[in-house]
Structure 1
Amino acid sequence: MMIQFSNGKVTVFQSVLFQTTSTVIQLDEFILVVDPNWLPSEIQEIKEHVDAVQGDKACYLLFTHGDFDHIIGYKAFPDAKTIGSAGLQHHPKREHKLKLIRDFDATYYVTRGYPVEFPELDIVIEEDGQQITIGATTLTFYLAPGHTEDGLFTVIESAGVFVAGDYLSDFELPFIYHSASAYEQTIRKAAQILIDYPIQLLIPGHGQYTTSPAEMDRRVNMALDHLERLKQAVLAGDEQALEQLKLAHGFLSETTMECHKDNVRIMQQELLGEGVKED
């Protein structure tokens, strides 16, 4: 695990796998841990950091969504209070997500010193703008469907932090598993958050943090541009344009090609009524 960013209050860890981030934020009354992941040694490093800074503060665990890479370290923090969306609380494929973790661990002979379980939530976020206040710190949440149905944005205004989950990566183009139209609305919601709040630090679920307003805007526009070009290519049945969009993904692989196929399928279904949505 490497520390990608630290300013004494916010520490962003990055896994070697998929450049997945885990964030620890030291607030006045509590410690907030976001999406602890991937490998046991990486999660142990996060735990050691939390132990070093926690003192007598409570620990809260925030899940940006229920994809297995983001929930994999849940039970490494057994005393933490948990926060997530109503979509996460009512996730229809909990067992499937746990199977993915078990399959990953079995494939690579990984052993963990804690049980693999799906998060049970203490605090459930059900609507845009919902706030929770802990001591003097207020967290503001926005539902962020599109990538998955259960996505969640978190704004910590006092720290100038925007935790974006699997949106607004510096290199990762949209992966639409849930809804193309919802994905676009969520990106527009992110753009509005950047207007409404003095965001000084944007943290995506994969890739690099940024402190640059221009870079934040670039990421919004990159996602919207990709979605718009995908929409136009699907409407026109333009195979050449779709091929170019497939090749635009960073780290071109079977995974990104499958994700592109999902993007096209979901876009076709929403725009043209074609096909049946797969699980």
Structure 2
Amino acid sequence: MDSDSTRRDLGGWEHLAPGVARRRLPFLDVTIGIVVGDEGVLMIDAGSTPREGEELRQQVMELTGRPVSHIVLTHGHFDHVLGASVFPHAQVYGEMSLDGYLERGGVTLRDDAVAHGVAPDEATEAIEALVRPGNLIHERYALDLGGAREVLLVHPGGGHTTHDLVVVVPGTPAVVFCGDLVEESGEPQAGPDSLARQWPATLDRLLRLGGETALYVPGHGAVVDARFVRAQRDELAARFGVS
């Protein structure tokens, strides 16, 4: 990728900082991120189906000239994990409890995918090929992609799920891939696997990780700033009756 740090579109990919970009997928407006180092290419989340994952695989190769070497799954919902099977040589990272969540939740993931518009046969194929993370993060882990490109994988606490994982890319500006702890294109979703009352405090920790000048990349929607994250934190606190 070009090292120009301006925000611009690269064939559907928005350049956020040197070696850092993201794309909003047409289906469900899911964000996919990439971070490029001298020795590795990290992709954040993998899309909703193997077909979507294959499109991403080809695009990242075209954009960077190298294959995806690492994948971070920000949480276990179908629209973020079911494309990972087309990256058999990538190291896959997730929060410590994500592995068990995926092991138990195949039927639920399939049904959720179908309910949101994935074809039943395609959803079944995706579940049969479901990839579980081989690298489990307890609290935080520094991932070295080479050439002084180190990113921080952090479980800031529960919120959207019990196993949310964020990716902090230091730099000017810093970039924080938030997963669905932050959403811009709709109200944050709190399902049965959420820890709603912990969510505001988790966003407080997220803001401390990124700081006031970071770019915060939601799981769905446009890139936002710290003021937006703080406002969403306050809305969630009011919604769930916590301070």
Q: TM-score of the superposition, structure 2-length normalised?
A: 0.77
Cα distance change, pair 225–46 in 1 and its aligned pair in 2 (3 A): same
Q: Is 1:67–1:97's contact at 8 Å kept on the other side of the alignment? A: no
Structure with greater contact order relative to length (CA < 8 Å, sep ≥ 6) = 2
Q: 1:85 aligns with which of 87, 95, 99?
A: 95
Alpha-carbon shift at residue 102 of structure 1 (Å): 6.5
Alpha-carbon shift at residue 217 of structure 1 (Å): 2.3
SS at match of 2:211: helix
The aligned residue for residue 159 of structure 2 is: 146
Q: Is 1:3–1:11's contact at 8 Å kept on the other side of the alignment? A: no
Q: 1:185 aligns with which of 187, 201, 206?
A: 201
Whether 1:75 aligns to 2:85 is: yes
Percent identity reads 22
The aligned residue for residue 202 of structure 1 is: 216
Cα distance change, pair 104–24 in 1 and its aligned pair in 2 (3 A): farther
The aligned residue for residue 220 of structure 1 is: 229
The one-character-per-residue Cα deviations of 1:12-65 (angstroms, maximum 9, x if unpaired) are: 121222211111222221001111213565433311122224556661011000
Alpha-carbon shift at residue 190 of structure 1 (Å): 1.3
Q: TM-score of the superposition, structure 1-length normalised?
A: 0.68
Q: Which of the two has higher C-alpha Rg?
A: 1
Answer 1 or 2: which has greater strand percent.
Answer: 2
Whether 1:131 aligns to 2:116 is: no
The one-character-per-residue Cα deviations of 1:90-120 (angstroms, maximum 9, x if unpaired) are: 21633234423663699636648x7533332
Answer 1 or 2: which has greater helix percent.
Answer: 1
Q: Is 2:77–2:109's contact at 8 Å kept on the other side of the alignment? A: no
SS at match of 1:36: coil
The count of corresponding residues between Structure 1 and Structure 2 is 224
SS at match of 2:97: helix
**Structure 1: gaps spanning 5 or more residues:** 211-215, 233-266, 268-279
Q: Is 2:15–2:22's contact at 8 Å kept on the other side of the alignment? A: yes
**Structure 2: gaps spanning 5 or more residues:** 1-10
What is the CA–CA distance in structure 2 between the aligned matches of 1:51 and 1:222, rounded to whole Å? 37
